[in-house]
């Protein structure tokens, strides 16, 4: 690897392997993100309920019904006993479960410039994890690989983030040594169904993926999640797969994609590129149908230069 590339790499990273030190260093990236939760709590101080869909609420007290109160919060027992309408008041729970669906299947073991997409996905997951615990939330994950998905229940503080970092490095090492891959569609459908079973109401779900393998089964499962929790997604792309890498008019390019080796020339590359872009767009359209935000993260650029996409 050239000296110029080494200067662009994240701290402790080599772009291919994954070390706990580089994921621990993502804490510095998380510190650069705004504390959205603190701002939301300050804006919602008092007795009004949260406008953020899916937030867990706990009972606080009962008071006389006032014009504008939600009639669904009327306490009918107290109202019947006193003869005057009373309403229940709720406050927002302090800890919110944050669950990461981290896609590390074989298709993300691709990199044309700086990092493998899987490595960038791990950096992004660690940064979001550090940010969650810094805001007082609990962090958990479902890590997708060509083995069974690795489930981490949401845990608070360092217990949650250290478990996430350990699992990411272990899964990555296993995937690097794995020669065969499973069907992306079967993997993602199984993982999304498992996600729907384990997500607690009021959770924040971050999906980190390259966008491949998502089908109608995934959409159905994610629709169930969206009914009671928030969803947002990041698509981790690569410059060669997104068409951002400058190439000469004529070339022969050896590529290993999803475990398959191929030799691309200009014509075959254009067809291959079209398929890559269609897969990403299909996933983005799925997220839009769920009214979930989706952003692209480039594996050819250090994550510290893309923090505006995380804000």
Q: Identify whether residues 115 and 130 lie together within a single domain.
A: yes
Is the same domain home to 28 and 68?
no
The answer on 111 and 65 residing in a single domain is no
Task: Look at the chain and report how many structural domains it folds into.
Answer: 2
Q: In 3-state terms, what secondary structure has residue 32? A: coil
Distance CA 275, CA 167 (A): 31
3-state secondary structure of 279: helix
- Tokens representing residue 151 in the block: 């489930």
State both tokens at 221: 């499962």
Q: How, if at all, do strands 260-264 and 253-257 pair?
A: antiparallel
Per-residue pLDDT of the chain (311 residues; tens, 9 = 90+): 555 566 689 999 999 999 999 999 999 999 998 775 444 444 434 433 333 333 445 566 788 887 767 788 889 999 999 999 988 876 555 578 999 999 999 999 999 999 999 999 999 999 999 999 999 999 999 999 998 899 999 999 899 999 999 999 999 999 999 877 889 999 999 999 999 999 999 999 999 999 999 999 999 999 999 999 999 999 999 999 999 999 999 999 998 887 788 999 999 999 999 999 999 999 999 999 999 999 999 999 999 999 999 98
- β-pair type (150-156, 204-209): unpaired
Asked, for residue 7, whether it belongs to a domain, the answer is no
Query: What does the alpha-carbon distance between residue 133 and residue 254 come to, in Å, rounded to a whole number?
Result: 42
pLDDT at site 47? 38
**140 plus 69 within the same structural domain:** no
Residue 144 lies in a domain: yes
- The residue length of the chain stands at 311
Exposure of 298 in the CB half-sphere (CA atoms within 13 A):
17
Question: Are residues 260 and 274 located together in one domain of the fold?
Answer: yes
Domain boundary residue, one of 45, 71, 92: 92
Asked if 80 and 136 sit in the same domain, the reply is: no
Residue 41 in domain: no
Considering the domain architecture, whether residues 112 and 174 belong to the same structural domain is answered as yes
Is 150 in the same domain as 79? Answer: no
Same domain, 78 and 171: no
Does residue 44 belong to any structural domain of this protein? no
Residues 131 and 123: beta-carbon distance below 8 Å = no
The answer to the question of residue 297 being in a domain is yes
Indicate whether 278 belongs to any domain: yes
Alpha carbon distance 242, 163 (integer Å): 32
Same domain, 259 and 159: yes
With respect to residue 3, please indicate whether it lies within any of the assigned structural domains. Answer: no
Per-residue pLDDT of 237-249, as tens digits, reads: 999 999 999 999 9
CA-based angle 282:287:288, to the nearest 5?
95
Q: Single out the residue in 71, 92, 113 at which a domain terminates.
A: 92
One domain, residues 85 and 115: no
CA–CA distance, 172 with 175 (Å, rounded to integer): 5
Sheet strands side by side (includes 293-298): 150-156, 138-144, 97-103, 204-209, 230-237, 293-298
Burial of 129 (0-12, 13-18, 19+ CB in 10 A): buried
Bridge partners (DSSP) listed for residue 296: 235
Residue 202 sits in a domain whose CATH number is 3.40.50.410
Are 66 and 210 within one domain?
A: no
Give the model's pLDDT for residue 163. 98
Instruction: List, in order, residues 6 or more apart from 40 with CB less than 8 Å away.
Output: 50, 52
In a domain, 4, yes or no: no
Residue 104 structure tokens: 């590390």
The C-alpha angle 291, 221, 49, rounded to 5 degrees, equals 50
Residues of the domain holding 121: 15-34+95-310
Q: Can you read off the two tokens belonging to residue 36?
A: 């959205």
Pairwise CA distance, residues 246 & 241, whole Å: 12
pLDDT of residue 54: 37
- Stated pTM of the model: 0.82
């Amino acid at each position: 690897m050239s000296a110029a590339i080494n200067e662009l790499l994240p701290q402790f990273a080599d772009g291919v392997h994954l070390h706990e030190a580089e994921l621990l260093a993502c804490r510095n990236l998380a510190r650069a993100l705004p504390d959205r939760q603190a701002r939301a709590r300050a804006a919602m101080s008092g007795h009004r309920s949260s406008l953020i869909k899916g937030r867990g609420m706990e009972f606080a007290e009962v008071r006389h019904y006032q014009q504008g109160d939600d009639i669904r919060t009327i306490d009918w027992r107290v109202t019947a006993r006193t003869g005057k309408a009373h309403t229940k008041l709720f406050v927002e729970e302090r800890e919110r479960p944050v669950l990461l669906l981290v896609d590390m299947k074989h298709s993300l073991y691709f990199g044309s410039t700086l990092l493998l997409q899987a490595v960038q996905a791990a950096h992004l997951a660690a940064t979001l994890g550090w940010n969650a615990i810094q805001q007082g939330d609990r962090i958990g994950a479902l890590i997708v690989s060509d083995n069974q998905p690795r489930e981490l229940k949401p845990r608070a503080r360092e217990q949650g983030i250290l478990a996430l970092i350990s699992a990411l490095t272990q899964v990555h090492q296993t995937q690097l040594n794995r020669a065969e891959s499973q069907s992306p569609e079967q993997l993602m459908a199984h993982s999304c169904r498992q996600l729907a079973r384990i997500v607690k109401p009021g959770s924040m779900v971050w999906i980190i993926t390259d966008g491949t393998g998502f089908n109608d089964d995934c959409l159905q499962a994610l629709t169930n999640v969206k009914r009671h929790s928030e969803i947002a997604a990041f698509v981790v792309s690569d410059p060669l797969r997104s068409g951002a890498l400058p190439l000469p008019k004529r070339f022969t390019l050896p590529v290993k994609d999803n475990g398959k080796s191929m030799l691309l020339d200009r014509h075959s590359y254009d067809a291959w590129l079209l398929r890559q872009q269609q897969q990403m767009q299909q996933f983005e359209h799925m997220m839009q149908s769920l009214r979930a935000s989706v952003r692209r993260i480039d594996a050819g650029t250090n994550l510290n230069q893309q923090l505006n996409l995380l804000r």
